[in-house]
Structures are given as C-alpha cells and as structure tokens.
Amino acid sequence: TVEEATQSLIPLIGAKGMDWMYANCSVTAQRGALDWHQKFYDASLPVFKDLYESVKNGSETKRALDKNSQPDYRESLELELAEIRESEIWRAGETVRSLRPENNKK
C-alpha cells in the first residue's frame, strides 16, 4: 500500500538501499518483484520517455510558462488541484493518514 511504502519501505530503502530491501523482504515479496518487475517496467517506460522528451524539447517548460502567465492562473490551478484533491484515492489517503498513531493524540 502507499501507507506501507511511505511510512516504512521508502525510509528503509533510503537508509539501506534496494539491494538490502530485496535481500531482506519475504520470499513472497521477492517472488512478486521478480515476477512483475518487467510488466511494470514495460508499462511505465513509455510514460517516462514522453516525460523526458517533453523536458528535452521544451514543451514542458513552455506549458508551465504559458499556464502560469494566464491572468486567472490561481483560479484555474485551484480547480485542477481540487479535482485531484477530491478524488476517491486522495480522500482515502487523507483518512488513512488521520488514523496514524501520531495523529491520534488523546
């Protein structure tokens, strides 16, 4: 889950590296990583290629400058951000974060 990734896995990966993580996770997790990594790589590669190309050719910068230069930039941005913020997955994340022990001070 995202909660597990952000609260336990990513800090461990940052401290000890992915090689340590692979060597120290469950056999089920190791098997899953081995069996699924190529599908995730293949699925995400076109997205990253498009992203890098948009940076390389300047279209990412052009879009940011064009959008940020609009007189109604803040209002338009807020509408776009609200769409994400109000999505089911974002609301679920907010609920999960509220249940963390450090957020339940009595």
Integer-rounded Cα radius of gyration of the chain: 19
The pLDDT of residue 96 is 87
Distance CA 75, CA 82 (A): 10
Give me the percent of the chain exceeding a pLDDT of 70.
99
pTM of the model: 0.62
Name the token pair of 52: 């890098």
Phi-psi region of 105 (alpha: psi -120 to 50; beta: other; left: phi over 0): beta
- Tens digit of pLDDT for each residue in 14-51? 999 989 988 998 999 899 999 999 999 999 999 999 99
Distance CA 62, CA 54 (A): 10
